[in-house]
């Protein structure tokens, strides 16, 4: 009887260990909902008196960014998981084009920004695509004052995007064919806007403005297996605070994919709407 009791005890301990290390949909929903509500989760570093914690969720209607591309990257094994939201576009207040990465998971190496009196810890990182210095170089400097604001000179032939020099297309008709509307007001020569450029690149050369695996893995374990990247998905407005991610099909399917480590569970019934043309952004 003693042996049987020991065997039962060992079995119960094993069940406890497995339940503590197996990924669950419940945990995934909990962490996604917390990010949506801006609440740090239990995996954040302990908050010290001078620490400020932020927990961000993607927003395709960001007033400070004219959104171009958006993707969702899924990673996981039997114990660790991460959802990485990627968006890119022109940030009007930063005067630069950037990639924004928002991390949700149980193995995130949270980005830390040390300031003289504060330490900021968040789940968000930024990568500069077109720097403010490059935008200043290519900005139109001819004509009337308003013609010189956030418009690319027609004389520009090449643009620096991260570590690549790429040709610049100044033909507004090529942009309009792709649905990129060129500013009419105070733009008689149909010059290409800063945000228009990023959206055109998203339509024609998305790889040029997309995050690399090395970029993404800067804040998750490098050996964490990638399950899939989702390029097209149904997105519910970030400002609909009544509908949490756990209540949305997109994230319910994402949880199934991660728990099973199987991309075939991604079978959405809702139409994809994450294309930038479906959302108003960059208006502030």
- What's the pLDDT tens digit per position in 11-58? 443 333 334 458 999 999 999 999 999 999 999 999 999 999 999 999
pLDDT confidence of residue 226 = 98
Do 92 and 139 belong to one domain?
no
> Does residue 5 fall inside a structural domain?
no
Do 184 and 125 belong to one domain?
no
Give the rounded percent of residues in the chain with a pLDDT score beyond 90: 87
Give the integer Cα–Cα distance in Å for 209 and 234: 22
Name the pTM for this structure: 0.91
Do 103 and 216 belong to one domain?
yes
Q: Of 176, 204, 232, which closes a domain?
A: 204
Please enumerate in sequence order all residues whose Cβ is within 8 A of that of 271, keeping only pairs 6 or more positions apart, or say none: 234
Helix (H, G, I), strand (E, B) or coil at 241: coil
Mean pLDDT of 87-95: 96
CB 69 within 8 A of CB 194: no
Cβ atoms < 10 Å from Cβ of 113: 12
Do 88 and 179 belong to one domain?
no
At residue 143, does pLDDT exceed 80? no
Do 31 and 165 belong to one domain?
no
At residue 101, does pLDDT exceed 70? yes
> Does residue 3 fall inside a structural domain?
no
pLDDT confidence of residue 144 = 66
**Which residue range(s) make up the domain with 234?**
24-129+207-278
In the chain, how long is the greatest CA-to-CA distance?
A: 94
pLDDT digits 0-9 by tens, 225-237: 999 999 999 999 9
Q: Which pLDDT band holds residue 185 (cuts at 50, 70, 90)?
A: confident
Q: Which residues pair with 139 in a beta bridge?
A: 152
pLDDT digits 0-9 by tens, 106-115: 999 999 999 9
Please enumerate in sequence order all residues whose Cβ is within 8 A of that of 162, keeping only pairs 6 or more positions apart, or say none: 127, 128, 129
> What is the pLDDT of the chain when averaged over all its residues?
92
Cα–chain center distance at 97: 14
């Amino acid at each position: 009887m003693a042996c049987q009791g020991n065997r039962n005890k060992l079995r119960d301990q094993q069940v406890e260990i497995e339940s503590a290390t197996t990924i669950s949909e419940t945990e995934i929903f909990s962490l996604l909902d917390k990010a949506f509500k801006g609440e740090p989760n239990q995996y954040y570093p302990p908050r010290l008196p001078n620490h400020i914690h932020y927990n961000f969720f993607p927003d395709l209607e960001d007033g400070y960014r004219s959104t171009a591309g958006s993707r969702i990257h899924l990673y996981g094994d039997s114990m660790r998981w991460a959802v990485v939201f990627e968006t890119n576009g022109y940030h009007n207040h930063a005067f630069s084009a950037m990639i924004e990465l928002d991390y949700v998971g149980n193995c995130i190496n949270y980005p830390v920004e040390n300031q003289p009196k504060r330490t900021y810890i968040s789940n968000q990182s930024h990568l500069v695509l077109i720097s403010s210095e490059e935008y200043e170089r290519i900005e139109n400097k001819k004509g009337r004052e308003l013609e010189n604001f956030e418009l690319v000179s027609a004389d520009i032939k090449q643009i620096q995007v991260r570590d690549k020099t790429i040709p610049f297309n100044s033909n507004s008709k090529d942009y309009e064919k792709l649905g990129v509307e060129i500013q009419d007001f105070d733009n008689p020569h149909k010059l290409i806007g800063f945000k228009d450029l990023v959206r055109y690149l998203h339509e024609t050369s998305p790889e040029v403005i997309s995050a690399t695996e090395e970029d993404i893995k800067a804040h998750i374990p490098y050996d964490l297996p990638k399950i899939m990247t989702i390029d097209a998905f149904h997105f519910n407005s970030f400002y609909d605070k009544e509908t949490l991610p756990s209540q949305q099909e997109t994230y319910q399917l994402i949880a199934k994919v991660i728990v099973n480590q199987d991309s075939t569970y991604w079978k959405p019934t809702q139409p994809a709407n994450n294309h930038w043309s479906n959302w108003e952004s960059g208006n502030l």
